[in-house]
Amino acid sequence: MRTKSWPLMHNNITRADLDLIIQYLSEEDPQLTHGPKVREFEKKWSEWLGVKYSVMVNSGSSANDLTMLALKHLKGVGEVIVPPLTWVSDIASVLHAGMSPKFVDISSRNLALDETKILNAISSNTKAVFLTHVLGYDGLTDKLIATLSDLGIPLIEDVCESHGATHNGKKLGSFGWASNFSFYYAHHLTTIEGGMICTNDQELFEVIRMLRSHGMLRESTNENLKEKYMSEYPDLNSDFIFTMASHNMRPTELNGLLGISQLNRLDTNNKKRAENLDCFLDNLNSERFRTNFLREGNSNYAFTLVLKEPSFDFRDKVEFQLKSNGVEYRRGLSGGGNQLRQPYLKNISGLPTPESLKETEHIHNFAWYIGNYPSINQNDIVWLTDLLNSITND
C-alpha cells in the first residue's frame, strides 16, 4: 500500500520567492503598503494577460466585490446571471451590491454556465453575465461572446481557478468587460493573499482604482475627472474627496513582489498542469468516470473526478479508497457544489430549487477534485487512476 500522502496542494512559494522578500525587507527603508512593486506587478500582469489595465487588490473575493460595485455604479441595479457551481464570493458580491442573482445550470463538458441556458435567461433587466471558468477549463463559446457583445451585456469572467487557460489561443480574462483573478495560497500563482481586476475599459479602470481605496478621487489617473469633482466640490480638500462609498482593499508591496517573482514561472507550471490532467483523464476508466471534458486550452487547477452515472453506493466506495490511501479530495468541486443548497441563500425569494439544476446536482453529489500541481510525477498519476479504476460497483 502507498504510504505517501496526496495533499490538495503543495506549497507554491519557493525558497527563491522567500529570499526575494528577505532581500527587500533588508533594504534601508522598504515601503510596505501598496506602491511601486504593486504597480510593476499590475503592468507585468496586464502584458502577460493581454489587457490594457489591471488593478491589484487584497483578495479574489475583494476583486469580485469591487467589480460588482463598479457594475452597479456604471450600469445600475438589476439581475446578474450567475453560476450555481462557483465560489461563494461570486454570489455574495452580487448580493453585496444590491443586485439579484439569476441562476442557470452548467455544461457537463466544461462545468461553466451552459451557453443556451444563459441566452434563454437574458431579459431587459440583465445587467451582466458573471461566468466562472471552473478548475482551469475554458467556459466560453464564440456564440456567447458575440451575442453578449451584440446585446451590450457585460461579460464578467471569474478566472480565479484558471490562470493562463485560453479560448481560441487567447487568454481567459481578456474577453470580458471585467475579469477577476485570485492569488490565494492554493492557486496557480500565489501572493499568499491577493487578487486582480482586469479590463480594457478605461472608465471601469478608473472606478475600480477609486473603489479599491475608499472611493477616493485621488486614486484616479483621469485628470479631467479630478477637475470635474474639484470644481463641483470646492469646499473639500482635493486629497479627500470620496466619490463612492467603498472599502480599503489595497494589497501590500510584499504581495506585489511575490506576484512578480511567481509570474516568471507561471507558463511553465501551467503547461505541466495541463499535461498532468491529460495523463489523469487518459488513464481513467471512461465507463465509470466522465473523461470527455473540453480540454483545449486548459490550465488545470485540480483533477476533475466525476461519476458517469449517479450512485451513492459507488460514491461512498470511491471516498473510502481515497481516504484509505491518503488522497485528499473535496466533494462538489468548486465551492462545495450547488450554491443553491447553501444557508446564505435560504431567505432569498425567486430562486430555482437546487434539484432543478440537474448537471449541478450531479456534480454536488458525485464529483470531487484532487490536487494537481507541477511537482507531481506521472507515475503517481497512473497509480491514482489504477486505484480508482479498481473500484467496483458490485
297-313 mean pLDDT: 97
313 and 254 part of one domain = no
231 and 327 part of one domain = no
138 and 235 part of one domain = yes
Q: What is the per-residue pLDDT across 331-374, written as a single tens digit (0 to 9) for each? A: 999 899 999 999 999 999 999 999 999 999 999 999 999 999 99
> What is the Cα–Cα distance from 126 to 102, expressed in whole angstroms?
9
184 and 286 part of one domain = no
Residue 200 CB-density burial (10 A; 0-12 exposed, 13-18 middle, 19+ buried): middle
pTM: 0.96
300 and 254 part of one domain = no
pLDDT reported for residue 186: 84
List the CATH number of the domain containing 342.
3.90.1150.10
Domain total of the chain: 2
Q: DSSP for 183-224?
A: --TTSSS--SS-EEEEES-HHHHHHHHHHHBTTBGGG---HH
Beta strands in the chain (DSSP E): 53-57, 79-82, 100-103, 126-132, 155-158, 166-167, 170-171, 178-182, 195-199, 302-306, 329-331, 367-371
330 and 222 part of one domain = no
110 and 240 part of one domain = yes
Mean pLDDT of all residues belonging to the chain: 96
> What is the Cα–Cα distance from 257 to 249, expressed in whole angstroms?
17
Which structural domain range is residue 79 located in? Answer: 15-258
Where a domain ends, among 230, 258, 286?
A: 258
Assess whether pLDDT exceeds 50 at residue 1.
Answer: no
230 and 192 part of one domain = yes
172 and 248 part of one domain = yes
Is residue 333 a part of any domain in this protein? yes
> What is the Cα–Cα distance from 199 to 52, expressed in whole angstroms?
6
Assess whether pLDDT exceeds 80 at residue 394.
Answer: no
Is residue 6 a part of any domain in this protein? no
Where a domain ends, among 258, 289, 316?
A: 258
Is residue 362 a part of any domain in this protein? yes
pLDDT reported for residue 12: 86
pLDDT band at 282 (very low <50, low <70, confident <90, very high): very high
Where a domain ends, among 224, 258, 292?
A: 258
136-159 mean pLDDT: 98
382-387 mean pLDDT: 97
Cβ neighbours for 365, distance < 8 A, ≥ 6 positions apart: 310, 312, 315, 337
104 and 19 part of one domain = yes
Query: Do 201 and 175 form a contact (C-beta atoms < 8 A)?
Result: no
Q: What is the per-residue pLDDT across 169-226, written as a single tens digit (0 to 9) for each? A: 999 999 999 999 999 988 999 999 999 999 999 999 999 999 999 999 999 999 999 9
Is residue 5 a part of any domain in this protein? no
pLDDT band at 286 (very low <50, low <70, confident <90, very high): very high
Q: What is the per-residue pLDDT across 218-272, written as a single tens digit (0 to 9) for each? A: 999 999 999 999 999 999 999 999 999 999 999 999 999 999 999 999 999 999 9
pLDDT band at 3 (very low <50, low <70, confident <90, very high): very low
Query: Do 278 and 295 form a contact (C-beta atoms < 8 A)?
Result: yes
254 and 277 part of one domain = no
* Phi, psi for 300 (deg, rounded to 5): -50, 135
181 and 245 part of one domain = yes
Query: Do 67 and 130 form a contact (C-beta atoms < 8 A)?
Result: no
Assess whether pLDDT exceeds 70 at residue 2.
Answer: no
Is residue 9 a part of any domain in this protein? no
Residue 141: C-alpha distances to residues 89, 123, 133, 172 (Å): 24, 20, 12, 11
User: Rounded to 5, what percent of the chain is helix, strand, coil?
Assistant: 45, 15, 40
List the CATH number of the domain containing 250.
3.40.640.10
The Cβ of residue 278 has, within 10 Å, a number of other Cβ atoms equal to 14
Is residue 176 a part of any domain in this protein? yes
Counted residue by residue, the chain has a size of 394
Cβ neighbours for 45, distance < 8 A, ≥ 6 positions apart: 54, 56, 196, 198, 259, 263
Is residue 182 a part of any domain in this protein? yes
> What is the Cα–Cα distance from 366 to 316, expressed in whole angstroms?
10
